[in-house]
């Protein structure tokens, strides 16, 4: 079970993630997000992560110039594409940087699963997240702390590993894992005290709960 802690922005919370055994540490490069980190700060933050966990760079419809800047500042291990990137764009990014791409697909209804085949042929990892709430004014395509109906992906036969995201927290991640059997889980809001403010203990509790649940499968 790969556990991704997303949207970290302080050395203390990164240390909590590493000590608790998180596999992926995610940095958000999206200025509209309360979790956004500037390139210079990200460069300082990734030092302790390298070699201990994979560094995930999360972007939303980023241009090549933006990806180049992130590449130069933190040399990420994995790209997480969380916008409306097309399958062709995924192929381009994989070829340009030669590293794995995790493509987020947002789900609300069964119809949303129709996008999967085109992406699972080209990405390395799928990430299933909830769509932003209807009628909400949020400009964030992720990190909204809401879940989708996990039953929609139960038993799905996929060609690629998948990560479950959306509204997970230390109290529900075990049930989510039991029901959907993902290869990884991802959390942001559920380990925060306020948008963008991560809580050390919640990080530790989340990673522990996820790893324990995986052992029980």
Q: Which residues bind ligand LARABZUK (CB under 6 A)?
A: 6-7, 26, 28, 30, 33, 35, 58, 60, 82, 129, 140-145, 165-168, 186-190
Assess whether 6 carries a catalytic annotation. yes
Assess whether 68 carries a catalytic annotation. no
Nearer to ligand LARABZUK, 57 or 58 (CB): 58
Minimum distance from residue 97 beta carbon to ligand LARABZUK (Å): 19
Nearer to ligand LARABZUK, 45 or 157 (CB): 45
Q: Which helix (DSSP H) or strand (DSSP E) does residue 4 occupy? A: strand 2-6
Tell me which residue of 216, 128, 145 sits closest to 178, measured CA to CA. 216
Find the catalytic residue in 77, 135, 149, 169: 135
Token representation of residue 124? 């390395």
Q: Could you say which DSSP state residue 132 is in? A: P
Distance CA 76, CA 58 (A): 10
Minimum distance from residue 64 beta carbon to ligand LARABZUK (Å): 19
Minimum distance from residue 24 beta carbon to ligand LARABZUK (Å): 10
DSSP helix, strand, coil percent of the chain (3-state; round to 5)? 40, 20, 40
Find the catalytic residue in 6, 123, 186, 205: 6
To the nearest 10°, report the CA torsion of 110, 114, 119, 121.
Answer: 120
Nearer to ligand LARABZUK, 26 or 157 (CB): 26
User: Cβ-closest residue to ligand LARABZUK?
Assistant: 143
Residues 6+ apart with CB under 8 A from 154: 179, 180
Catalytic residues: 6, 135
């Amino acid at each position: 079970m790969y556990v991704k802690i997303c949207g970290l922005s302080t050395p203390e919370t990164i240390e909590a993630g590493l000590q608790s055994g998180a596999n992926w540490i995610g940095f958000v490069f999206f200025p509209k997000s309360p979790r956004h980190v500037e390139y210079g700060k990200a460069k300082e933050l990734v030092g302790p992560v390298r070699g201990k966990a994979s560094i995930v760079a999360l972007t939303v419809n980023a241009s090549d110039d933006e990806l180049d800047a992130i590449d130069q500042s933190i040399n990420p291990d994995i790209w997480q594409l969380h916008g409306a990137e097309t399958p062709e764009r995924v192929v381009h990014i994989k070829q340009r940087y030669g590293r794995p791409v995790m493509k987020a697909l947002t789900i609300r209804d069964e119809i949303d699963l129709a996008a999967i085949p085109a992406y699972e042929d080209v990405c390395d990892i799928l990430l299933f997240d909830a769509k932003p709430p209807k009628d909400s004014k949020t400009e964030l395509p992720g990190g909204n702390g809401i879940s989708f109906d996990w039953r929609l992906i139960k038993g799905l036969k996929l060609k690629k590993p998948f990560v479950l995201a959306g509204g997970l927290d230390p109290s529900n991640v075990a049930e989510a894992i039991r029901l959907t059997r993902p290869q990884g889980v991802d959390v942001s809001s559920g380990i925060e005290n306020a948008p963008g403010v991560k809580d050390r203990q919640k990080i530790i509790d989340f990673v522990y709960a996820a790893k324990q649940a995986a052992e029980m499968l």
